[in-house]
Amino acid sequence: MRRLGGILLVVFVCAALATCGGGGGGMVMNPPPPMPSDSPFWAQWGANPQHAGMVNAAGQAVTHQLADIVYDPFVAQEQTESLPVFGAPDLVAHFQATITDGNDVYMMTKTGHYTPCNPAGDWANGTACGPNAWQSMVWNETRFTWESGQLVKIWSFVSDWKPEPNATNFNQGFAGLGGWEPVFHAVDANNFIYVPGAGGSVWKVEKVGGTSSAHIMPVFNGLNTNTATAYVSGPLTADSTGNILYNVIALMNQGAPWNTVDVAGAWLVKLAPNGSATTVSYAALVPGAPAGTAATCPGRFHAVADPLPWPPTLGATPAPVLCGSQRPGMNIAPAIAADGTIYTVSRAHFAAAQAYLVAVNQDLTPKWQASMQNLLSDGCGFLEPISGPANTDPNSCRNGATPGIDPTTNALGSGSVPDQGSSSPTVVPDGVVFGALDSYNYARGHLLKFDAQGHLQTAYPFGWDSTPGVYTHNGTYSIVIKDNHYGAAAYCGANDPICAPTSQTYFITQLDPNMQIEWQFQSTNTMSCQRNPSGPPTCVSDHPFGFEWCINMPAIDMNGTVYVNSEDGNIYQLPQPAVIPPNKIITQPGGNLFLNLAIGAAYTPISIGADGKLYTQNDGHLFVVGN
């Protein structure tokens, strides 16, 4: 045993999951651990059931680093495996938002072991290593408590949850998940921590010592567990009365589960506070979708066979593709409106553009489904130019193309739901917004706004892997998102002058309810900095266009101050501007603090505690920042 921060901790080893109680978990302590706060504050993805990311507390100033805890010890290995595949040491993982609860903090931590490849990156060839073997890692939910100014570990609950298999083999044409690690995300409700488990189950964990109070295994009608495996997919969400909502995907155990074999099933699950479970299949939630066996879902023109610029001819239509059954997008956290309406997002298993925003009644009966196909008319002639007669202009559509169309389909643009993202619906006072990808907007996607009846109201041309925050003020509201211009080509990646990268700029953008820009904060820092054992950081100016915002979503305090983290390693404090410049672009933050450079960082969320402390993430570290 050892003493840290005034709390006696027991260092323990579980010989097997069963010896730790249920899926793993709690330990016996002597003296006993401190009593939990049972005052959930940032209790889930986006802080609340609406995922608004705004809380009723004033955030502290970003002046001091108060804690640094490693929750993913495998980051260096994960980045080594990504370098040969992506050309950079990217951390393509999605991580839990830190849960704050009075004096307690709950966070995902990893243990187990990482299986490296030899050579690095060989997982892309189908070898069972790196992301293709991430099941060798162990996901835990860990309770920390503030004691004498230190964030002290109290217990870890060892879950039997595993992510869906990556199953990448580019040699055989199987993209799989491409190395993008799914999110493991608990929720704080009913004075328990609900933790994702194996087979679509949830562990109900008591807060004092981290032991299992119940193991809830819903019944998934029609699922043959001998041939398929069910996975909790995406964060758990709690509504205002303590019901837990989450998604489950069942994959066949044979073949390429993302590319050649349809899903075995998919469900939206509702757990009542008493532990009873209700499920509804995604097939029932999206009854108008094409059948899984249909070969009618939207395809794109082919980079090799179809000459650029696109459309390849003015009347061309791309061949449709096999659909696959409807299932939730990976990493989707259901959102719940004040009237109890549940919002989730569905897509065809093989066709990301056959996607729907889905509204569900409290009893899990379908309310409405809004297709994201052919909704956007800002393509050729708007986001991309229409070429002159020579058809040689970079990022242009073919001369004579119909204004507004997506050049990759020769039809109106569609929102798609890639499994590499973690965008989730966000409820706004007059509807719901969702960040979708598309095929033509320089890899930026669109933020789509629907009314409460499922009608598209408007869209903003950024949405990739972004859950927006909502700042409520003065009888109205504003939407806050990251807004990265990645320097990508408009719609193609071939070695062709048409596919020319554009300039890079990186903003945090605040929009009004009509998605018109209110103000933007631009990343203008050009300095990459490294910490030194003593003395100030060593910096070099090597990012002339600034740094990408690596958040999934921002945090917003009661005064409208926006908190975000950047790949430059800083956490930024952005108060609502007293005066907005004519160009609406702000370049000076209210404050910032350098933590650690994080190029190629994971798309991470940020949280606020009831006392205003800020919980940000950077390369597998949980940093706490405050006064």
> What is the pLDDT confidence band of residue 550, given thresholds at 50, 70 and 90?
confident
The distance in angstroms from the start CA to the end CA of the chain is 32
pLDDT of residue 5: 32
> What is the pLDDT confidence band of residue 535, given thresholds at 50, 70 and 90?
confident
Say if residue 97's pLDDT is above 80.
Answer: yes
Strand partners, 151: 146
Q: What is the pLDDT of residues 118-171, one digit of tens each?
A: 999 999 999 999 999 999 999 999 999 999 999 999 999 999 999 999 999 999
pLDDT of residue 359: 98
Q: How many C-beta neighbours within 10 Å does residue 239 have? A: 21
- Please tell me the total number of residues recorded for the chain in this structure: 627
Tell me the three state secondary structure of residue 42: strand
Say if residue 337's pLDDT is above 90.
Answer: yes
Say if residue 27's pLDDT is above 90.
Answer: no
- Listed in sequence order, the residues at least 6 apart from 414 whose beta carbon sits closer than 8 Å to its beta carbon are 298, 353, 355, 372, 373, 374, 375, 376, 406, 438, 439
**pTM metric for this prediction:** 0.94
Per-residue tokens: 28: 């016996």
Say if residue 191's pLDDT is above 70.
Answer: yes
Average pLDDT, the chain: 94
Could you give the C-alpha distances from 148 to 5, 59, 66, 100, 102, in angstroms and in order?
6, 21, 12, 18, 15
Average pLDDT over residues 509-517: 98
Question: Which phi-psi region, left, alpha or beta, contains residue 567 (left: φ > 0; alpha: ψ -120 to 50)?
Answer: alpha
Say if residue 182's pLDDT is above 90.
Answer: yes
Domains in the chain: boundaries: 289-418+425-457
Say if residue 602's pLDDT is above 70.
Answer: yes
Residue with tokens 């704080």: 188
pLDDT of residue 6: 30
Say if residue 19's pLDDT is above 70.
Answer: no
pLDDT of residue 519: 98
Contact present, 203 and 159 (Cβ < 8 Å): yes
User: Which of residues 18 and 300 earns the better pLDDT score?
Assistant: 300
pLDDT of residue 143: 98
Q: What is the pLDDT of residues 232-250, one digit of tens each?
A: 999 999 999 999 999 999 9
Residue 502 amino acid letter: T
Q: What is the pLDDT of residues 261-299, one digit of tens each?
A: 999 999 999 999 999 999 999 999 999 999 999 999 999
Say if residue 3's pLDDT is above 70.
Answer: no
pLDDT of residue 21: 39
